[in-house]
C-alpha cells in the first residue's frame, strides 16, 4: 500500500448523485477512496466514473477495508450517500452505518450527500448470488439484498 499520510483520505460510500461531483474538490494532498458497493459494485463503478471525468483518479476498495483505513488513522472525512434525513438520523445506501460508527469512534467528520437513487429499498436476490452474471452460490440458496439502512443521528455528530 502506498505511503498515505495521516488523515489524507476522503472516503466515499454509496452511489452519490451527479450534483455532488459538481462541487466536490478535494485538496491536492488528499486521496479519494471509493467503497465498491457490493453486491453489484454500483458505487465503485458510478462514483469512480464521475471522479475520473473531473480528473480525479480514485482508489476503489472493498467495503470492509474502511475499518483498516480508520484504524491506521488515514481517513480525513467520510461522505455518505443518503436518501432521507430527519433529526433522528439518515436513511443511507447500504453500508453507511459502518463508516458512520467508525468515523465517530475515530473522531472523523461525516458529510451527508444526496444518493443517486431514491426509494430503492431491496435489490434483486440474484445480485448477491452471482458475480458479473456468473452464479457463485449453489442452486437453492436464497438471497436477501437490502439497499438502504438507517444511521442514527448519534453517529453523525
| Domain harbouring 101, CATH code | 3.40.50.10470
Total Cβ atoms within 10 A of residue 141 = 11
Tell me, what's the pLDDT at 28? 87
Question: How far apart are alpha carbons 14 and 148 in whole angstroms?
Answer: 9
Predicted TM-score (pTM) above 0.85: yes
Domain-embedded: residue 138: no
Question: How far apart are alpha carbons 146 and 14 in whole angstroms?
Answer: 13
Domain-embedded: residue 76: yes
DSSP E strands: which ranges in 3-71?
9-13, 31-35, 59-61
Question: How far apart are alpha carbons 60 and 48 in whole angstroms?
Answer: 8
Q: Which residues of the chain have pLDDT under 70?
A: 1
DSSP H or E segment with residue 114: strand 109-114
Domain-embedded: residue 144: no
The predicted-structure confidence for 77-91, as pLDDT tens digits, reads as follows 999 999 999 999 999
Residue 80: all three cell numbers together: 455518505
Question: How far apart are alpha carbons 38 and 77 in whole angstroms?
Answer: 21
CB 49 within 8 A of CB 37: no
Domain-embedded: residue 130: no
Q: Which of 153, 61, 150, 155 lies closest to 108 in space, CA to CA?
A: 155
Domain-embedded: residue 88: yes
Domain-embedded: residue 52: yes
Tell me, what's the pLDDT at 45? 95
Tell me, what's the pLDDT at 77? 97
Tell me, what's the pLDDT at 12? 98
**HSE-CB for 77 with a 13 A CA cutoff:** 13
Residue with cell 462514483: 47
Residue with cell 452511489: 15
Question: How far apart are alpha carbons 105 and 125 in whole angstroms?
Answer: 33
| Omega prior to 39 cis, within 30 of 0 | yes
Domain-embedded: residue 132: no
Tell me, what's the pLDDT at 131? 84
Domain-embedded: residue 75: yes
Q: Which domain holds residue 53?
A: 9-120+150-155
Tell me, what's the pLDDT at 1? 60
Please tell me the total count of domains within the chain: 1
Tell me, what's the pLDDT at 39? 79
Amino acid at each position: 500500500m502506498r505511503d498515505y499520510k495521516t488523515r489524507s483520505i476522503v472516503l466515499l460510500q454509496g452511489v452519490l448523485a451527479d450534483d455532488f461531483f459538481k462541487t466536490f474538490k478535494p485538496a491536492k494532498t488528499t486521496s479519494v477512496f471509493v467503497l465498491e458497493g457490493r453486491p453489484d459494485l454500483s458505487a465503485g463503478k458510478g462514483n469512480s466514473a464521475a471522479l475520473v471525468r473531473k480528473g480525479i483518479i480514485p482508489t476503489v476498495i472493498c467495503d470492509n477495508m474502511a475499518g483498516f483505513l480508520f484504524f491506521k488513522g488515514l481517513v480525513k472525512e467520510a461522505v455518505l450517500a443518503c436518501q432521507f434525513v430527519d433529526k433522528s438520523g439518515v436513511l443511507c445506501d447500504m453500508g453507511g452505518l459502518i463508516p458512520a460508527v467508525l468515523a465517530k469512534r475515530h473522531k472523523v467528520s461525516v458529510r451527508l450527500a444526496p444518493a443517486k437513487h431514491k426509494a430503492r429499498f431491496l435489490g434483486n436476490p440474484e445480485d448477491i448470488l452471482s458475480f458479473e452474471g456468473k452464479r457463485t452460490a449453489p442452486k437453492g440458496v436464497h438471497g436477501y439484498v437490502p439497499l438502504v439502512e438507517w444511521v442514527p443521528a448519534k453517529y453523525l455528530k
